[in-house]
Amino acid sequence: MLFKSLTMAGAIAMMVVSAADAKTLKVQMSSKAGDWAHRYMTDKMAPILATMSGGELKIDALPTKAVVPHRETIDAVANGILDGDLNAISYFSGRDPAFAIMGDLIAGYDTPAQVQTFCMHGGGKEMLQKIYDKYTNGRVHVIGCGPYSKEALVSKIPIRGVDDLKGVKIRSPEGLASEVFRRAGASPSSIPFSEVYTSLEKGIVDAADASAYVNNTASGMHKVAKYPIYPGIHSMATLQFIMNKKVWDGLTDAQQAIIETWYYRSWTSQMRDANIEDLRLVARDKAGDDLTVVDWSAEERRKFREIAVGAWEDFAAKTPLAREALDAHLKYMKSINLL
């Protein structure tokens, strides 16, 4: 009886220690609470991390600007205010054009899977780590990067080709995306994703580089912007998963492996499910009479890509890291016969 009591006491003690050792990672995302992407992380993917780690690891996925402004998450992660972020890389283009090139090579790739493969297996993750080593003095660890969708473009007016972009007031992240739209004749402005709906509603912008079709639908964009462009013509915003280096180094090898595996699974799953939802919603909206879904011709897409290529090269010429980032893209693109 005494042995049995001691055994039970030991088991309880082990459970207490396990609970005390559990680590909750506080990360900030680029999406708003209620957005499809944010719900996907909190409802579907966060519980999987807890299950995979036996409860040792949990993730507290906070909406954009919950702790710091969307352009300051790098500093918050480096300084330990956040454990990590799941944020759009292009937000940091003002620090170095290399972030713009890594964040979204506008009109460069055909599918999100191509960009994800570049990030995870084609040298992208390593290039991003090199950029962070410079700007955070080695205080940030890059786990991965990649888009989950080729973004649709929401618009209050029909934009059926490059010529229709002339004079259009368009929301666009700063950096490469804004430059491409500017060269096409539009008037871009940098507005946080959380303010896109009200900017469209109030007429501050006519159109917006926003998010995946499913996310734009969930955010209510199509209530005010009745001419979405799908498939998108421009953006596959690359999101990063970075962590504070000390926090990362404090994890066991097994925990690090779990996080890496979980992240890759999360992004691949989200990419698949976003595509399925995009196709379902587009079919529904085409069958209705409320929206006009615009699909650019191959010729108009080619014109837009030619404009983008010039912007790539000009951005790459601005800093050595930007040149290296573009070269990493081009090397991979050639390896898959995209160029």
What does the pLDDT look like over 182-241, one tens digit per residue?
A: 999 999 998 887 889 999 999 999 999 888 899 899 889 999 999 999 999 888 889 999
Q: Looking at the chain, how many residues does it have?
A: 339
Q: Find out whether 132 and 242 touch, Cβ atoms under 8 Å.
A: yes
Sort 17 into a burial class: Cβ within 10 Å, 0-12 / 13-18 / 19+.
exposed
Could you report the per-residue pLDDT of 287-331, keeping only the tens digit for each? Answer: 999 999 999 998 999 899 899 999 999 999 999 999 999 999 999
Q: 101 with 195, same domain?
A: no
Question: Does residue 165 have a pLDDT over 80?
Answer: yes
Tell me, what DSSP letter sits at residue 150? P
d(CA 10, CA 33): 42
12 assigned to some structural domain: no
Q: How far is residue 1's CA from residue 216's CA, in Å, rounded to a whole number? A: 63
Domain match, 160 and 72 both: no
* Same-domain status, 163 and 35: no
Indicate whether 231 and 242 sit together in one domain. Answer: no
Q: How many domains does the chain have?
A: 2
- 134/243 same-domain check: yes
Give the model's pLDDT for residue 20: 53
151: left (phi over 0), alpha (psi -120 to 50) or beta: beta
Nearest CA-CA partner of 179 in 238, 119, 230, 107: 107
Q: What is the DSSP letter of 250?
A: T
Q: What pLDDT shows up at residue 173?
A: 77
Residue 215: per-residue pLDDT: 87
Q: Decide if pLDDT at 114 tops 90.
A: yes
**C-alpha distances out from residue 334 to 103, 122, 315, 323, Å:** 19, 11, 20, 16
Is residue 54 situated within a structural domain?
Answer: yes
Let me know whether 214 and 136 are in one domain: no
Q: What is the mean pLDDT of the chain?
A: 91
Q: Are residues 212 and 311 in the same domain?
A: yes
Query: What would the two tokens of residue 112 be?
Result: 């999100």
6: pLDDT strictly greater than 90: no
Are 158 and 265 within one domain? no
Please indicate, yes or no, if residue 8 is contained in any of the structural domains: no
Q: Which pLDDT does position 326 carry in this prediction?
A: 97
Task: Report the CATH number at residue 100.
Answer: 3.40.190.170
Is residue 102, in this structure, part of any structural domain at all?
A: yes
* Both structure tokens of 197: 């709906």
Say what the pLDDT of residue 63 is.
95
What residue numbers bound the domain in which 163 lies?
A: 153-235+292-317
130 and 269 co-located in one domain = yes
Are residues 215 and 310 both part of a single domain? yes
The pTM is what?
0.82
pLDDT recorded at residue 252: 97
Binning pLDDT at 50, 70 and 90, where does residue 85 land?
A: very high
In a domain, 92, yes or no: yes
CATH number for the domain harbouring residue 210: 3.40.190.10
d(CA 334, CA 86): 29
Give pLDDT tens digits for 117-158.
999 999 999 999 999 999 999 999 999 999 988 889 999 999
- Are 122 and 168 within one domain? no
Residue 140 located in a structural domain: yes
Render pLDDT for 228-281 as a digit per residue (tens, 0 to 9). 999 998 888 899 999 999 999 999 999 999 999 999 999 999 999 999 999 999
Inside any domain, residue 231: yes
**Which helix (H) or strand (E) covers residue 6, if one does?**
helix 2-21
User: Given this model, what pLDDT does residue 167 score?
Assistant: 96
Residue 111 lies in a domain: yes
Cα distance between residue 316 and residue 149, in whole Å: 25
Question: What is the predicted pLDDT for the residue at 144?
Answer: 96
Average pLDDT of span 51-60: 97
Query: In terms of domains, do 57 and 88 share one?
Result: yes
Q: Which residue has the tokens 């995870």?
A: 120
Look at residues 173, 205, 176 and name the one whose alpha carbon lies nearest to residue 192: 173
- CA 217-306-199 angle, 5° bins: 30
Say what the pLDDT of residue 7 is. 42
